[in-house]
Amino acid sequence: MLLTLDLNDARPLHQQVASAIRHAIGEGAYTPGDRLPPARDLADALGINANTVLRALRDLRDEGLLEFRRGRGVSVAGRADGRALLVERARELLDEARRYGYRREDLITILEELT
Amino acid sequence: MTPRSAAALWGTAVTAALVAVPLILRDRLPDPLAVHWGPAGAPDREQSFATGLAVQVAMWIVIWGFLLAAAARERTLARRMGRGYWWGTLVGGGLFVLGMGGVTLLANLDVADWTAAVLEPWQVVAVILVGVAAGLLAGYLGRGGPDPEVPADAEPPRLDLRPGQRVVWVSRLTNPWLLAVTAVAAAGLVVVAVLDVAGASVGAALPPLVIVLLVGLLTTSLTCRVTADGLRIGFGPLGWPARRIQLSKIDKAWSDTRYPSQVGGWGIRGLPGAATIMLRGGECLIIRYHSGGELAVSVDDAARGAALLNALVAEKVSR
C-alpha cells in the first residue's frame, strides 16, 4: 500500500491518513476482501501514532470502505467511493496548480475548456 | 540432451538398478533384511525383501516424480537457480538413493540373519559425500546461462516524488499453508514426546519442537516497508526480527514473478547476494545491490514498492 502524506497539508493528521488510504484503494492496489497491513505497520512507516491511523481506519469503516473483523484484521469492504476519490484528486490537482501559480478560478476555466 | 529426456533416461536407469540388483543378489541375502542401523553400526530394524525393495523404489519415484513434474512445467528451469537445484537433485538424489541401496545390500550380503548385518559408518558418510558432491557438480554444470537482467515487462511504474511529501509503502504477506505445516509439525513432535514413540523422551523432543515452532512462525508471514530510510523486511507475526537495507546500498528495484520451485522451496533460500525470501509463488519484490547481488522477497503489491524504492534512490542520488 503506497501512502502519501503532504507535509504542508493543514487538515488534521487522521484525515490526511484516511485520504491517503482512500487514494491507495482507489488506485486499485487493494480490491474488496483484501486485508490491509496492520495499523501498527502503517503508523511505524509513516512515523505517526498508531491511534491516529486507527482513527483514520475507523472513519473509513464508517464510510463503508473498510470492514473490521475480529481476528481477521481490517479488510477492504467495497470499491472506493467515486466522489470521495474525485474530491481527493481535485485537491491534489489544486495543490499542483498552485505550485505553478494558477488560482482556483484558473483551474475551473481549464476544466470548462475541456469538453 | 533436454532436461526432460535426461530425467526420463536417468530416472529409468536408477529405478532399474534399484530393482534389478537386489533381485540378482537375492540368493545371497537374508529375508528379512536389515534396513536400519543404530549409531554403533548394529542393525535395529528389519523389513521383508519385498517391502525393503518397494520402500527404496518408492523413495526414488517420489523424488523423480517431483523432478519430472517440475521439468514439465518449465518455469522451474526458466531461472538459473532453479536449473541448478533441478540438475543437482536429479544427479545427486539419484546417486544418493543408489548408494543407500548399495550399502544396505553390501551389509546384508552373505549374512545368515539380518541381526548379523553390519554397516560400516564410513560407507554412509561416503554415500552422502558422493551424493552432495555430484549434486553440486551437476547443479553447477546444468545451471545454464545467466538470468535476464531485468525482464522487459517487470520494469516498475515511474513514481515522481514531490518536495514536502512523505511517501511510504507498506505490505504484508501471510501464507496460511505454511502456518498449517508448522502447526502439524509441532503437534507431531508433541505426540512423539508424549507417547514416547521412537524412544524419544520429552527432553529430547523439546529442542526440535522449539526450532520448528520458531522457524515456522518466523517464515509464515512477513511485513515489508519502504520509507526514506530504505527497505525493512520484518519476519513473523510481530515483524521482528527485521532485515533493514539502506537506500545507499540499493541500485534498483523491480517486481517479478517467482516460484518456490525456482529457488529451492519455501522460506529463506539461497546465499547472501542471491537470496530469496519465498513465502508463496507469485509477485516478488526484487532489489539489486550496488555490489551486484540480488534479494527477492515474495510480497503483494511489489510493483508499487519497487517504484517507490527507485524514486527514493534517484532522489538520494540527485541530491
Model pLDDT for residues B108-132, shown as the tens digit of each residue: 888 888 888 888 888 889 999 999 9
Interface A:B, Cβ pairs < 8 A: 58
How far, rounded to the nearest angstrom, does the alpha carbon of residue B195 sit from its chain's CA centroid?
Answer: 30
Measuring CA to CA, which residue among A29, A18, A93 is closest to residue A56?
A: A18
Indicate the pLDDT class of residue A96, thresholds 50, 70 and 90.
confident
Q: pLDDT per residue over B30-57, tens digit each?
A: 888 888 887 777 888 888 888 888 988 9
In chain A, the residue whose alpha carbon lies closest to the alpha carbon of B161 is A4
Q: How far apart are CA A14 and CA A43, in angstroms?
A: 11
CA–CA distances in Å: residue B227 to residues A46, B306, B318:
8, 12, 17
Task: Tell if the CB–CB gap between A1 and B301 is shorter than 8 Å.
Answer: yes
Distance from CA of A97 to the nearest CA of B (A): 14
Question: Is the CB of residue A97 less than 8 Å away from at least one CB of chain B?
Answer: no
Question: What average pLDDT score do residues B121-149 get?
Answer: 86
Backbone φ, ψ for residue B311 (5° rounding): -65, -45
Least confident of A80-84, B276-280, B284-288: A80-84
Mean pLDDT over the full length of chain A: 84
Which residue has better confidence, B317 or B294?
B294
Q: Is the model's pLDDT at B318 over the cut of 80?
A: no
**Whether the predicted pLDDT of B150 surpasses 70:** no
Residue A106 touches partner B, C-beta closer than 8 Å = no
What proportion of chain A, given as a percentage, has pLDDT over 70?
A: 94
Higher pLDDT, B157 or B64: B64
Query: What is each CA distance from B284 to A9, B75, B271, in whole angstroms?
Result: 34, 15, 17
In angstroms, how far is CA B210 from the centroid of its own chain?
A: 21
Mean pLDDT over residues B14-27, rounded?
Answer: 89
Q: What is the mean pLDDT of residues A75-103?
A: 80
- How long, in residues, is chain A? 115
What per-residue confidence (pLDDT) applies to B319?
64
Q: Is the pLDDT of residue B200 over 60?
A: no
User: In this structure, are residues B34 and B46 in contact, taking their beta carbons and an 8 Å threshold?
Assistant: yes
Q: How many residues does chain B have?
A: 319
Over residues B99-114, mean pLDDT: 87
For residue B77, give the C-alpha cell. 528451469
* pLDDT digit string, tens, across residues A30-73: 778 888 888 888 998 998 999 999 999 999 888 888 888 877 78
Higher pLDDT, A16 or B209: A16
Extract the C-alpha cell encoding B114: 539380518
* Residues B193-197, mean pLDDT to the nearest whole number: 68
Tell me, yes or no, if A69 comes closer than 8 A to chain B by beta carbon: no
Which residue is it, cell 534396513? B35
Average pLDDT across chain B, whole number: 84
DSSP label of B75: S
The DSSP H or E segment spanning A97 is helix A82-99
Residue B58's pLDDT is what? 92
Q: Do B168 and A2 touch (CB under 8 A)?
A: yes
Residue A18 has pLDDT above 60, yes or no: yes
Angstroms from A64 CA to nearest CA on chain B: 22
Residues of chain B with C-beta less than 8 angstroms from the C-beta of A38: 172, 223
Query: Based on C-alpha coordinates, what's the Rg of chain B?
Result: 25
Nearest-CA distance A74 → chain B (Å): 12
pLDDT of residue B137: 92
Cβ contact B164–A37 (<8 Å): no
Residue A2 forms contact with B (CB below 8 Å) = yes
The answer, yes or no, to whether residue B107 has pLDDT greater than 60, is yes
Distance (Å, rounded) from C-alpha A72 to C-alpha A70? 5
d(Cα B162, Cα B34) in Å, to the nearest integer?
73
Q: Exposed/middle/buried for B18, CB within 10 Å: 0-12, 13-18, 19+?
A: buried
d(CA A3, CA A36): 12
- A82 touching B, CB under 8 A? no
pLDDT of residue B62: 92
Instruction: Report pLDDT for B13.
Output: 92
| Integer Cα distance of B221 and B237 in angstroms | 6
Chain B residues with CB within 8 Å of chain A CB: 159, 164-172, 223, 225-227, 234, 239, 301, 304-305, 307-308
Q: Do B172 and A37 touch (CB under 8 A)?
A: yes
- Which pLDDT value is given to residue B154? 61
Question: Residue A7: which of B165, B226, B227 has the nearest Cβ?
Answer: B165
More confident residue, B68 or A8: B68
State phi, psi for B14 to the nearest 5 degrees: -65, -45
What is the least distance, in Å, from the CA of A99 to any CA of chain B?
11
Among chain A residues, the shortest Cα distance to B233 is held by A41
* pLDDT score of B22: 87
pLDDT of residue B205: 67
Spatial CA neighbour of A23 closest among B253, B312, B239, B304: B304
